[in-house]
Structure 1
Amino acid sequence: MAKVLAILSSGYTNEEHNYVTGWWAEELFAPLEELEKAGHAVELASIKGGKAVVDPLSLSEAYDPEGKYKKLYESGLADKTTPVVDVKASDYDAIMIVGGHGAMFDLAHDSDLHAVINIVHETNGIVSAVCHGPAPLVFTKTKEGQPLLQGLKITGYPNDMEPEEVESLLPFSLEDEMKKIGQYDKGDGQDEFILWGSDRILTGRDPGSSEALGRALAEKLTELETHPLEK
């Protein structure tokens, strides 16, 4: 059984524009289901700890028509998170950064999270992220001072999918930042799109790619239990 650390945004509010965002429900719960089905354990962390703020839109009928993720959220499954600063990164075989616009605000530039990401990567763990979840990966640098994603095949939420009413409120364009350091691909025409940039870095494009990312991560972790990478 592998241990996976899922990172959630603690949330962001812009009162002037009546804008509240955080982590996206499907991007936690869909991969979580795949990972647990494969026998792996998932623990949660966020910048502030405690109950992290979910993006309310992700629980709406428009994005969760069957109410599956709303039910899981209301069950309390994601109510308790460890503050990132208190995480012992070496305990985990993988990290999974959950998307939602909140990741652009509190996860992207958090130095404690960057340190956790680096430790997981340096100890041959898997670093994964979906949708806006790659935001902190973009700004994570290795101990040699190079971008973690330098030159890699990567994906994340594209500019042409950003809602017009939200785009101007965001601190940066994820697609633009990813293009500066890696081989960005948005997988045109594919319903699900994930990319292995290396055997230890996995990114997914959007909420609809969450299940595929969880399944790929679960399969890789199961494989590594039998054939571990050398430390």
Structure 2
Amino acid sequence: MAKVLAVLSGGYTDEKNNYVTGWWAEELFAPAMELEKEGHTVGIATLLGGKPVVDPLSLSEDYDPEGKYKKLYESGLADKTTPLVDVKASDYDAILIVGGHGAMFDLAHSEELHNMINIVYELGGIVSAVCHGPAPLIYTKTKDGRPLLEGLDVTGYPNDKEPEEVRGLLPFSLEDELSRIGNYSKAEDQDQYAVWANERILTGRDPHSSELFGRELAKALTRRELEQEEKYFD
């Protein structure tokens, strides 16, 4: 079936303000489980490889009351990641950028990641991102120099949900930047929200939307596989 590359933040530490962040557990594990249910495989990469820093809040009882994602994290599933430089983008049918505030610091302006996103997209693959994961999509430009998300429907973590204690520590407002180049929406009336910008770009609003987001991506990849099989046998 399809191969998906999940890209995680390696982590970010602000010692002056005693602030540590990285990738968000639910936003990796929930979509990965939905993808694996459909028979797809998930590889994990970070900019530098190795064991990335998970946002500790994502493993707390407040955000993971059943301890499901903490258990998956402690099993070591995300302990070994491939450096992005060692990843061949054309091997993957989709890229999944995992959220967590860390993505705003190390992934957002990574030209290496921008190039990988473009390769996957130009080869007909799906580009997807959840919560703060759309941060690098904001700064990704197509080969003709236009923003990848220009004029498209997008979502991501909203300003009014950002914790007060981190607002002054973040490098930019995700909602403001997404609104600047795309048609941002947060669908406050929906418990979970994921939106297709077109048939190859999918974004999810927040951690609680991770399962829906993963299911949407998984089903889209399955449909594509079936369509390719039908064309092959026609």
**Which of the five TM-score ranges fits, normalised by the shorter chain?**
over 0.9
Q: Report deviation, 1:189.
A: 1.5
| Letter matched to residue 111 of structure 1 | E
| Letter matched to residue 116 of structure 2 | V
* In 1, Cα distance between equivalents of 2:81 and 2:227: 31
Partner of 2:136: 136
| 1:96-144 CA-partner distances (Å, limit 9, x unpaired) | 0000000000000000000000000000000000000000000000010
Partner of 1:165: 165
Q: Report deviation, 1:84.
A: 1.1
Q: Report deviation, 1:51.
A: 0.6
Conserved? CA contact 1:12–1:22, under 8 Å = yes
* In 2, Cα distance between equivalents of 1:219 and 1:72: 23
Q: What is the number of equivalent residue pairs in this alignment?
A: 229
Partner of 1:68: 68
* In 2, Cα distance between equivalents of 1:178 and 1:45: 24
Partner of 1:118: 118
2:35 matches 1:27: no
Q: Report deviation, 1:87.
A: 1.1
| Letter matched to residue 132 of structure 2 | H
* In 1, Cα distance between equivalents of 2:9 and 2:86: 16
| Letter matched to residue 3 of structure 1 | K
Q: SS of 1:112's equivalent?
A: helix
Partner of 1:14: 14
Partner of 1:91: 91
Q: SS of 2:6's equivalent?
A: strand
- Mapping of residues 196-211 of structure 1, within 5 Å: 196-211=196-211
The TM-score, its normalising length taken from structure 1, stands at 0.98
- List structure 1 segments (4+ residues) > 3 angstroms apart after TM superposition: none
2:147 matches 1:147: yes
- RMSD value, Cα: 0.9
* In 1, Cα distance between equivalents of 2:48 and 2:66: 30
Conserved? CA contact 1:110–1:136, under 8 Å = yes
Partner of 2:184: 184
Partner of 2:57: 57
Q: Structure 1: which 5+ runs fail to align?
A: none
Q: Report deviation, 1:85.
A: 1.8
Q: SS of 1:6's equivalent?
A: strand
* In 2, Cα distance between equivalents of 1:80 and 1:117: 21
| 1:24-67 CA-partner distances (Å, limit 9, x unpaired) | 00000000000001100000000110111100000001100010
| Letter matched to residue 2 of structure 1 | A
| Letter matched to residue 137 of structure 1 | L
Q: SS of 2:10's equivalent?
A: coil
Q: Report deviation, 1:83.
A: 0.9
The TM-score, its normalising length taken from structure 2, stands at 0.97
| 1:60-87 CA-partner distances (Å, limit 9, x unpaired) | 0110001000000000011111111221
| Letter matched to residue 80 of structure 1 | K
Partner of 1:108: 108
* In 1, Cα distance between equivalents of 2:227 and 2:137: 26
| Letter matched to residue 20 of structure 1 | V
Conserved? CA contact 1:21–1:101, under 8 Å = yes
Conserved? CA contact 1:85–1:113, under 8 Å = no
